[in-house]
Structure 1
Amino acid sequence: MKTTSVGIPLIVIALLTGCNSEQPKDAGTVIHIDNMVDLTHTLTPDFPFIPVKKLTYPFELIPMATLKDNGVEANSWKIHEHLGTHTDAPNHFIANQKSLDQLELKNLIVPVVVIDIEEKASKDRDATLTRDDIVKFETEFGKIPDHACVMMYSGWEKHLMDSLFVGLDDHQIKHYPGFSNDAIKFLVEERNIAGIGVDVLSFDPGIDENYTGHKTLFEAGKWGVECVANLNKIPKTGATVIVAAPKVGKATGGFSRIIAVW
Structure 2
Amino acid sequence: MKMKAILSGITFFVIIFLAGCTREQPKDVGTTIRIDNIVDLTHTLTSDFPFIPVKKLTYPFALIPMATLKDNGVEANSWKIHEHLGTHTDAPNHFIANQKSLDQLELKDLIVPVVVIDIEEKASKNSDAVLTVEDIMTFEKAFGKIPDHACVMMYSGWEKHLRDSLFVGLDSQQVKHYPGFSNDAIKFLVEERNIAGIGVDVLSFDPGIDENYTGHKTLFEAGKWGVECVANLDKIPKTGATVIVAAPKVGKATGGFSRIIAVW
TM-score by length of 1: 0.89
Instruction: Indicate yes or no: 2:174 matched with 1:172.
Output: yes
Shift of 1:185: 0.5
Aligned length: 239
Q: Deviation per CA, 1:185-230, whole angstroms, max 9, x where unpaired?
A: 0000111100000000000000000000000000000000000000
- Aligned equivalent of 1:204: 206
- Aligned equivalent of 1:253: 255
Work out the CA distance in 1 between the residues paired with 2:96 and 2:86.
Answer: 22
Shift of 1:29: 8.5
**Over alpha carbons, which structure has the higher Rg?**
2
- Aligned equivalent of 1:80: 82
Secondary structure at the counterpart of residue 97 of structure 1: coil
Counterparts in 2 of 1:183 and 1:29: CA distance versus 1, 3 Å: closer
Q: 1:241 aligns with which of 240, 243, 252?
A: 243
Segments ≥4 residues shifted beyond 3 Å: 24-32
Paired amino acid for 1:106:
K
Shift of 1:32: 3.2
**Greater helix percent: which structure?**
2
Work out the CA distance in 2 between the residues paired with 1:195 and 1:242.
Answer: 12
- Aligned equivalent of 2:152: 150
Shift of 1:33: 1.2
Work out the CA distance in 1 between the residues paired with 2:180 and 2:31.
Answer: 39
TM-score by length of 2: 0.89
Q: Deviation per CA, 1:156-204, whole angstroms, max 9, x where unpaired?
A: 0000010000000000000000000000000001111000000000000
Q: Deviation per CA, 1:38-59, whole angstroms, max 9, x where unpaired?
A: 0000000000000000000000
Structure 1 residue runs of 5 or longer lacking an equivalent are: 1-23
Contact 2:177 2:207 in 1 (8 A): yes
Instruction: Indicate yes or no: 2:132 matched with 1:130.
Output: yes
Q: Deviation per CA, 1:6-49, whole angstroms, max 9, x where unpaired?
A: xxxxxxxxxxxxxxxxxx84479964310000000000000000
Secondary structure at the counterpart of residue 164 of structure 1: helix
Work out the CA distance in 1 between the residues paired with 2:51 and 2:187.
Answer: 26
Counterparts in 2 of 1:133 and 1:29: CA distance versus 1, 3 Å: closer
- Aligned equivalent of 2:225: 223
- Aligned equivalent of 1:120: 122
Secondary structure at the counterpart of residue 66 of structure 2: strand
Secondary structure at the counterpart of residue 165 of structure 2: coil
Q: 1:187 aligns with which of 189, 210, 230?
A: 189
